[in-house]
Amino acid sequence: MRSLKGLIEDLLSIPEERSTPERYRIVGRNIAILMLITTLVPLALMTVINYFEYKAALRNEIQAPMKTLVNKAKHSFELFLAGRLSTVNFIASAYKFEELADEKNLNRIFRVLKKEFEGFVDLGLIDSNGMQVSYAGPYGLQGKDYAGQAWFEHVRVNGVYISDVFKGYRKFPHIAIAVQHISDDGREWIVRATINTGKLDDLIASMGLDAESDAFLINRQGVFQTKSRFYGDVLDKCPEIPPISFEPAVIERIDPLGRDVFLGYVYFNQNDFVFVLVKPKSDVLKVWYTLRADLLIVFVIGLAVIILAVLKLTNIMMKRMKESDDKRTLALREVEHSHKLSSIGRLAAGVAHEVNNPLAVINEKAGLMQDLIQYNPDFPDKDRFVNLVKAIIQSVERCRTITHRLLGFARRMDVEVQILDVNEVLQETLGFLEKEALYKNVKLDLDLSKNLSKIESDRGQLQQVFLNILNNAMAAIGDGGTIAISSFERDSQMIGVTIKDTGHGMSDETLKHVFEPFFTTKKSGEGTGLGLSITYGIVKRLGGDIEVQSKTGTGTRFTVYLPKKTPAQSGV
């Protein structure tokens, strides 16, 4: 199994070869997974722990009252039996054998007994040989011999006997209580009484159980001593005998009806009885089921809120990370561009100065040759050589223009700041291109702001900026098309000039390098790649900014922003 540390490292590792959108998607996904793990795992653990802790606490809260009720019921039964046993023991001790042997006297005692104590069915005197000497009750049991009965031997050995519920001669469930008495002269006799089990049922009814609960007595062999609501009648066999415990206990079982129940019980210490209390879980755990549903709802809602919050936060983080990366990339490009401009400027200055000297010599020599040819009417192939010399002079002029641009790019030109109207500068610059636009059938669409603020700047350098951009637009359009020029107020500090053409546009890759020196998309020999670099440098020196938007097939839009007041820190 992989360690948690290894899993986290895998989530945080991003393949370098991935494209930028893909990298952000993977980073966002992995961060969301980590955030979900760090938030949902504690939430799930807390929910599970609370679930089991509360369930255990609730079980204890349920079982404690059941144990108390079972214990109270046990004491009630034991007090009832002990009271009846004490009564029988008192009769055996308070009266002599002869008094009890007199049936009239025994009947009188029995009537008083029934009046004072409920549940007694009959009363009898049995001698030491097991013969019933006298009897008071509804059954003709006088003279009955109990010598062979197990209870008779039990009472002679232990002195007292309380039977389980049985029917016997009486044909209805009852309990027999027998007490042995030995007089001072050594004479033995036994007083035996029977008790109706209805009093036991009354004790259970007094517990006030709900309709789904049950309580009953069984003996240790699992025979019902009282009637059960759901599991059987008196003297039926109980479907389950709980394990021995003389202390109140509660266990969980599935009853014969298929219900999940709590089974509370206790074994009697002095008697062969077990008291059992049955409560269905569905009743006693109603509060738990309600809480469990509420707990689940809270967990689901919390889960949904956490997921939404994590996704929202991750999305915001990715957007800010992308914006930060874009700004950093742009800053690096500008720094790189500045370094390139600086390096190429120094190179251009050296090259321009070195090239200008031989160019001057070539130009002078070509001029001399042209003069010699013109003043010599008999010069052979005169027209041919005149054309060749003109071609040389034109090439020198072209080279001189290039070196002039190189010098302008390389050195910091002196700036003449003046108050000027940018609309007028645009009109002047367009004057240089009117004939070319007419020749190429290019439409110049002007939308200049009438209330445009005047600015502090350099007229000549602004003309060079606009001219470079317009020349590029002309080259991109070719024959036909439109160049739209507009001016506007950007804010209280800046104005803007937009030059948009309907040319072939530029790709995203071209846009990344458009202001780099010597970068050109023109055919070999048609462009130097310095125009936009110089333009960029001039705009930055003047304290402005330049933006370009383009898409292949839809044209290009250049926007130049110029400050209304020349910033002092620029040195202009």
Q: What pLDDT digit, counting tens, does each position of 223-239 carry?
A: 999 999 999 999 999 99
In angstroms, the CA 214 to CA 358 distance is 122
Q: How far apart are CA 260 and CA 282, in angstroms?
A: 8
CA distance 474 to 459: 22
The answer to whether position 171 is within a domain reads: no
| Cβ(511)–Cβ(535) below 8 Å | no
CATH number at residue 539: 3.30.565.10
| Residue scoring higher pLDDT (304 or 411) | 304
Going through 209-282 in order, the beta strands assigned E by DSSP cover 214-219, 249-254, 260-267, 273-280
pLDDT band per the 50, 70, 90 thresholds, residue 124: very high
Q: Using the CB atoms, write b or e for 25-55: b if 16+ within 10 Å.
A: eebbebbbebbbeebbeeeeeebeeebeeee
| CA atoms of 545 and 492, how far apart (whole Å) | 16
Quick one: pLDDT at residue 12? Answer: 53
Q: Which of 335, 370, 391 is the last residue of a domain?
A: 335
Find the mean pLDDT for residues 409-430: 75
pLDDT in tens, 432-445: 787 788 888 888 88
SS3 assignment, position 157: helix
What's the pLDDT band for 313 if we cut at 50, 70, 90? confident
Higher pLDDT: 474 or 517? It is 474
Do 477 and 565 belong to one domain? yes
Mean confidence (pLDDT) of the chain:
81
* Least confident interval from 20-24, 79-83, 249-253: 20-24
Residue 156 confidence (pLDDT) above 50 = yes
Full residue range of the structural domain in which residue 565 is found: 413-572
Confidence of residue 412 (pLDDT cuts 50, 70, 90): very low
Tell me if 388 is assigned to some domain. Answer: no
Same domain, 449 and 311: no
In a domain, residue 313? The reply is: yes
Q: Are residues 424 and 297 in the same domain?
A: no
Same domain, 447 and 533: yes
Please report the pLDDT score of residue 344 as a whole number: 60
Cβ-proximal residues to 315 (8 Å cutoff; 6+ apart), any chain: 28
Q: Is 271 inside any structural domain?
A: no
**Is residue 521 packed enough to be buried (19+ CB in 10 Å), middle (13-18) or exposed (0-12)?**
middle
Kindly indicate the confidence band of residue 431, based on its pLDDT and cuts at 50, 70 and 90. confident
Q: What is the pLDDT of residue 304?
A: 83
pLDDT, mean of residues 398-403: 72
> Same domain for 327 and 426?
no
**How many folded domains does the chain comprise?**
2
Is residue 354, in this structure, part of any structural domain at all? no
pLDDT at 125: 94
Q: Does 418 lie in the same domain as 315?
A: no
Q: In sequence order, what DSSP letters do the residues of 447-465 get, joined into one string?
A: E--TTPPPEEE-HHHHHHH
pLDDT reported for residue 569: 41
In this structure, are 568 and 450 located in the same domain?
yes
- CA separation for the pair 536, 514 (Å, rounded): 10
Residue 322 forms part of a structural domain: yes
Statement to judge: residues 517 and 417 lie in one domain: yes
* Same domain flag for 307 and 434: no
State whether 542 and 421 are in the same domain: yes
- Check whether 264 has a pLDDT greater than 90: yes
Residues 325 and 430 in one domain: no
Contact (Cβ atoms closer than 8 angstroms) between residue 499 and residue 465: no
The answer on 561 and 420 residing in a single domain is yes
Segment 509-553, tens digit of pLDDT: 877 777 776 666 665 445 555 667 788 888 888 889 999 998 888
Is residue 116 very low, low, confident or very high in pLDDT (cuts 50, 70, 90)? confident
Averaged pLDDT for residues 233-249:
92
Rounded Cα distance between 401 and 395, Å, is 10
pLDDT value for 517: 66
Asked, for residue 312, whether it belongs to a domain, the answer is: yes
**Domain annotation covers residue 310:** yes
pLDDT higher than 60, residue 7: no
